[in-house]
Structures are given as C-alpha cells and as structure tokens.
Amino acid sequence: MRLTFLLISLLFALIGSYGQSPLTFDSNDFDFGDIQEEAGAVTHTFNFKNISTDTIRITAVKASCGCTTPGWTKEPVAPGGEGFITAKYNPYNRPGNFKKSLNVSTKGVEVAKTTLLIQGNVVPRPKTIKDLLPTKLGAMRVRYRSLNMGKITNEEIKIQEFDTYNDSETSWSFLPAQTIAEDFIKIDFAPLELAPGSKGKIIVRYDPALKNDLGFQSDQIRIFTTEDVDQQKNMNVIATIEDYFPPMTAEELAIAPKLAFDKTIFDFGKVSADARLVTSFELTNSGKEPLEIRKVKTNCACTTAQPNTDVIEPGESTALEVTFDTNNRKGRQYKSITVFSNDPSAPTQVISIRAELPKS
C-alpha cells in the first residue's frame, strides 16, 4: 500500500512538472474594457521573466483569431532575463464582447506552452450613410440593387418600403410616370423630390396572385430621376412565392394529400463530358386526398424535370423524369429540383442530382 501511494505521488509530481512554462508573466490575461471601433486597433504588452536555469527562445505565438496579431522578443532570453509578448486586436466590424487567446511556445532545456488571454467589449462605431446604403446608382443610394420582398404567399398583396438617399449636392426628383415594371409590380416614391443629403422611400407593391408563379422570382424594374446624368436606374424586385394554406385541424391534416419521394438525392458519379444524363424519382401520395403537382422548377437551364402526371391519387405513385445536359460543364456539379404541391404540411420540397465531370 505504501509503495502504491509513493508511485501515485511520483506520477502526479511528474505530470505537474512536465511542460511547465519556464516563463513567468506579470499577468496571463488582460481586459481592455470598452474600446471604440472607430479608434482602430489596440495593443497590450505581456512582460515575462525567464525563471529557468537555461536560455529560452520563443519559437511561436499563435493567436486564436486573425483579428489578433502577436509580436514577441525574437532574441534568446538568458536565465533571469526579461522579454515581452504583444497582442494587437483589430476591432473593425467586430462589435460586442470578445475573448481571444495566444498560445506561446518556448524552447530551451524543456519545451513548454503558455496561454495568454485578452478580452474586452467593442463599442460599435456610428453607422454612416455609406454603411447603411452602400449601393450607389448615380446620385441615388440604396442598400442593395435588388429590392427583396422576402417570402410571400399568393393569398394577398405585399407592400414593402426600401430606404433611398440623395448623395449629391443638388435636388432631383423621381419620375414615377416613366418607371418601368411588370403589371404585378407597382412602384411609388415618398417624397418625389429629394433634397441634397435627404432620405426617401421606394415603395414596392407586389401582387403574387397576378404574378401566378411559385418559387424564387426576379424581375427587372427601371427607375428614372431628373438627375443630369445616370437618370436610369436598373434594379430587380425579388421574392419567393409559396402557396397559401389556411389553418387546418388535426383531422383535416390526417386526410390531406402527402408527398413522399423514394429518394431525395441521386448521384450519377463520374461521367464523360457533354453527356445527356437521365434519371427518375418516384413521387408517392401517402395521404388520403388527391395530390396536385402544381409546379416543378430547376435551378439551372441545363436541367429539366417533368412528372408523368400532375395529379396523384391516394396511395398511387408517379415518376418524375430528370434530365441533365452536361454540355460545357466541368468538375463537380450539383443541381436542385423544387417540387411544389398541395401537400399542406410540406408544400415545397427540394431534391437534387450530382455528377462528377472532367475538369478540363
């Protein structure tokens, strides 16, 4: 028993001494507190002393983040000598609390590592108009060139406002009578005239029922102003349209149509260039009412998909044939097919195909 105790004590002593750092720091962590983002990078210096009996050299200091740049004493440090390690933190575009580490590797008689920590809180800089509305079309600033209506259903008209700004030294006006858009998109402006350095609104009224489509949509619009140059602004209105389903009871959902696939991914594997690949997915209606395939869309003109029938009776199945034209395609290919149906629990479902083509 006494021998076992001595062996255990020796083991813990060895573990405690192995890898122990030969450097002692004035502090192993530092809190910057609140720092201003616009003030730029901040730096702290960790001072150390070599407490070993051998000359020590710092071989590496690795930061846990690219936002932190380390520096250190490059020369060997003799026993009792002193040195430093610096940590430079860049707060740009990093608002909020942060905590970063620096792993210090040293080499002498023993090889050891030390971890240093820096932390603080970045107070975000005030946003400028260029930050808020970075896209410039002539003298008109907007956030994005595309006006995103988000996800909408075909139940009702969607109206959304988008900020704009006159980034010039002269006033100009919108010309609503000259605005060009599809019939399901109506564009208004408030106010019509923007003074220098003033904000306004582009108001988009989108009628998904009149659009009569499903899935992702992108339609070009043209906005005209009275500026001396760049009067025409080419933009897009984008939206993702889904079918509307009214609230249903558990009993109604139990008998509703339900779409299921035999698989959701098919991989053609390695194929030759300029091949025409064909596969099929089996679609099954596991519900108790007829299933309607309302639309099938692919994410590439190189891919087509067509079901054998648009209506699947309860318990029945049909094939969805998918064709992929690999002409002018190279490398790994991923193509998706979106199936829209009247399955109220999952009206939009995505399947995909893959293929490996020669890279040259």
Query: Is the CB of residue 354 less than 8 Å from the CB of residue 279?
Result: no
Q: pLDDT of the chain along its 360 residues, tens only? A: 444 434 434 443 333 334 567 889 999 999 999 999 999 999 999 999 998 888 999 999 999 999 999 999 999 999 999 999 999 999 999 999 999 999 998 886 555 678 999 999 999 999 999 999 999 999 999 999 999 999 999 999 999 999 999 999 999 999 999 999 999 999 999 999 999 999 999 999 999 999 999 999 999 999 999 999 999 999 999 999 999 999 999 999 999 999 999 999 999 999 998 899 999 999 999 999 999 999 999 999 999 999 999 999 999 999 999 999 999 999 999 999 999 999 999 999 999 999 999 988
Q: Cα–Cα distance between 102 and 177 in angstroms, integer?
A: 61
Query: Is the CB of residue 76 less than 8 Å from the CB of residue 88?
Result: no
Query: Which structure tokens are listed for 192?
Result: 């019509």
What is the number of other CB atoms lying within 10 angstroms of the CB of residue 121?
14
The confidence score (pLDDT) of residue 2 equals: 43
Query: Is the CB of residue 273 less than 8 Å from the CB of residue 253?
Result: no
Give the torsion through C-alpha atoms of 30, 33, 38, 39, to 10 deg. Answer: -60
Taking alpha carbons only, the member of 117, 165, 101, 114 closest to residue 137 is 165
The confidence score (pLDDT) of residue 292 equals: 97
The confidence score (pLDDT) of residue 20 equals: 63
Give the torsion through C-alpha atoms of 268, 270, 276, 277, to 10 deg. Answer: -10
